[in-house]
Structure 1
């Protein structure tokens, strides 16, 4: 997934190409997104900038569902992905991202966490 460095490969006002004055730096690294799907629990641990760790979900089985009326959190099994407004392709493939609507044992809920970066699925009952 080679990507040009931002603002290094702009064109001249005449339309001519300009050479980048330097290459990519380590902190400008780009990765493929981890698309979380429904299945047996599987997580990936990534080392990120500053020596920190980011946990990503490759596949999930359960979600932490908050019922705002009762003020309780329940760990519920995800039955299916109802819809994902982030991308039509994600909707078709059943990828879980922030904002996706999922059907759980506790009822229909909207995902409020980022499973591909947080490593957990948190949702609010709707």
Structure 2
């Protein structure tokens, strides 16, 4: 579990005395780490009783061609580049901004698989 409230320490290093204790709503969750593989999703109950889908594994992406505007479902081969973390390329992690190799060509992921549960990408030139 990750606690996502304000830090006890200020930027200056001084101590901040919290007015309240930790709350259930301030708990975060571990990253989804979406991999390439047979589709696997998880439904998570969020604060307020809503649900959203988290993609744990995926092997297809909705790839849009910016010139024609056509969107096709393409199989993901591997991750070519990821500016967020070079280690993600070796682990084949799918994150927003990652460049993936598909059967259509190289594409950049525009959605957030760990938040949206789907992989949308834009075809590169």
- State the TM-score, normalized to the length of structure 2: 0.88
**Once the two structures are superposed, what CA deviation does each residue of 1:71-115 show, in whole Å capped at 9, x if it has no partner?**
110000001110111112212211100000000011110000000
Closer, same or farther: CA 38–18 of 1 in aligned 2, 3 Å: same
Does 1:6 find its partner at 2:6?
A: yes
Q: Is 68-77 or 109-118 further displaced after alignment? A: 68-77
CA contact (8 A) 2:111 2:120 kept: yes
The answer for unaligned runs of 5 or more in structure 2 is none
For the pair shown, the structure with the greater C-alpha radius of gyration is 1
Task: Indicate the RMSD between aligned Cα atoms, in angstroms.
Answer: 1.8
Shift in Å, 1:3: 3.2
- Alignment length (residue pairs): 123
Alignment of 1:91-102 (within 5 A): 91-102=89-100
Q: Which residue of 1 aligns with 2:113?
A: 115
- State the TM-score, normalized to the length of structure 1: 0.87
The answer for unaligned runs of 5 or more in structure 1 is none
